[in-house]
Amino acid sequence: MFYFGIEHEVAFLNQEGKFADFTHTKFADFAQIVEKLPIYPNDYPQLRVGDAGIKKKRWYIEGFERFADSEQPIDCSAKGIEIRTTIHTNIQDAVNELSQSFHLLREVAKSFGYMPVLASYNPYKTVFEPQPPLNDFEIKQLQAYPDEQTANIYMVSYGPDLNISVANMSTDRLIDIGKKLTYYSPYIVPFTYSSPFYNGSLWEGLSVRTFIRTGKRSATLVFVEKPEELITSIPSLTKVARIPAEIGRIEFKAFDSCDDFNIYAALLALFKGLILDETLQGRVTTPDAALHQISAKEGFDNQDIFANAKKVLKAAEVSLHNDSDAQLLIPLKIMLEQRQSKSHQLIEMFHKLGSIEAVLRKTY
């Protein structure tokens, strides 16, 4: 039995048509939107609420929490709004729930003058510098968690977490799958490339997000039950589950965001196939940063990336065999044949329209 879930980060243009980020958007600006969205009591305990209580709903504000001198947050620099689905045994059900949640978010955001747009990297801000600067307590907190030291990356990047788990899978097998997905990550991330803008203009590749984050942030995270099951690596491959529903979850974190949610369905089907597959032998504990950077610049135009993507897709398709989910892979096959990604469309639109905001308005 397979289980599926999706977390999807949404960026916005504000009332003035400017990209809404931490420089001029307050936590309260996004909080008024989330406030108006419904709460589903049956979602719990499978959705984690977290210590700060920000994650009470299927939608919550993604940002960087600020502290004074205790564990109790006093503020949060806002980045955007994240949508998360409940856990489903069917890929299409997870994607349908994400679509419904997105449409609700769009309607409510519109009433406050905000428009959701596809961005996988902040098109204007290259770094996040906390204001006011971090205090001693916050610095100590960050030093305790190596992955948290990359806030300067996650506050300017947007991407999905695609979650998949299999009932009763052993921890060893789970970690092996995590290593496998980390190894093949540079070949599959181009299916989602959508961050060709950087520092107010076109970047010289297809995914500035992949170029900057890989090697510093995890490609895959595997949630284990006990601390003694963790394996040491930077960035982390393993993490102790925070709630029982997380135990055994494989979370893939390296994709850019997609405004066509059918691509998420295709990628979850790909992961299902890769878990079933026994032919692909590549395994690594930490992502190959150099290979991801080649991938980020060239995508499927790079012969090695293209050939391996084809091999991975074929292996997944063969292992799915008569499973109806094999049909979900079709959009990936088309993209591979055309060697195209969303970034190609965004670049083309930018040449026609001449403005990043004009391009962003045409997403979703």
Write out the chain in H/E/C secondary structure.
Answer: CEEEEEEEEEEEECCCCCECCCCCCCHHHHHHHHHCCCCCHHHCCCCCCCCCCCCCCCEEEEEEEEECCCCCEEEEEEEEEEEECCCECCHHHHHHHHHHHHHHHHHHHHHCCCEEECCCECCCCCCCCCCCCCCHHHHHHHHHCHHHHHHHHHCCECCCEEEEEECCCCHHHHHHHHHHHHHHHHHHHHHHCCECEECCEECCCCEHHHHHHECCECCEEEEECCHHHCCCCCCCCEEECCCHHHCCCEEECCCCCCCCCHHHHHHHHHHHHHHHCCCCCCCCCCCCHHHHHHHHHHHHHCHHHHHHHHHHHHHHHHHHCCCHHHHHHHHHHHHHHHCCCHHHHHHHHHHHHCCHHHHHCCCC
Give the residue with greater pLDDT, 346 vs 146. Answer: 346
CA distances from 172 to 41, 223, 230, 285 (A): 34, 12, 11, 13
Output the pLDDT for position 149: 59
Give the CA count within 13 Å in the CB-facing half-sphere of 209: 27
For the chain, the distance separating the N- and C-terminal CA atoms, rounded to the nearest angstrom, is: 32
Phi, psi of 99 (to 5 degrees): -60, -45
pLDDT per position as a tens digit, 225-240: 999 999 999 999 999 9
What average pLDDT does this structure show over 326-337?
Answer: 98
| pLDDT, averaged across the chain | 93
pLDDT per position as a tens digit, 130-167: 888 888 888 887 777 655 556 678 889 999 999 999 99
Contact of 159 with 267, CB cutoff 8 Å: no
Output the pLDDT for position 153: 81
Indicate if the pLDDT at residue 86 is higher than 90. yes
What average pLDDT does this structure show over 25-37?
Answer: 95
Output the pLDDT for position 147: 57
Output the pLDDT for position 142: 77
Place 269 in a pLDDT band, splitting at 50, 70 and 90: very high
Q: Percent of the chain beyond pLDDT 70? A: 97
Place 187 in a pLDDT band, splitting at 50, 70 and 90: very high
pLDDT per position as a tens digit, 91-143: 999 999 999 999 999 999 999 999 999 999 999 999 888 888 888 888 887 77
What average pLDDT does this structure show over 161-189?
Answer: 97
Q: Percent of the chain beyond pLDDT 90? A: 80
Domain boundaries, the chain: 2-361
Output the pLDDT for position 151: 65
Output the pLDDT for position 207: 98
Specify the fold of 2-361: Creatine Kinase; Chain A, domain 2 (3.30.590)
Output the pLDDT for position 48: 82
Give the range among 70-74, 77-81, 261-265, 319-323 with minimum mean pLDDT: 70-74
CA distances from 271 to 161, 255, 320 (A): 13, 13, 10
**How far apart are the C-alpha atoms of 161 and 152, rounded to whole Å?**
19
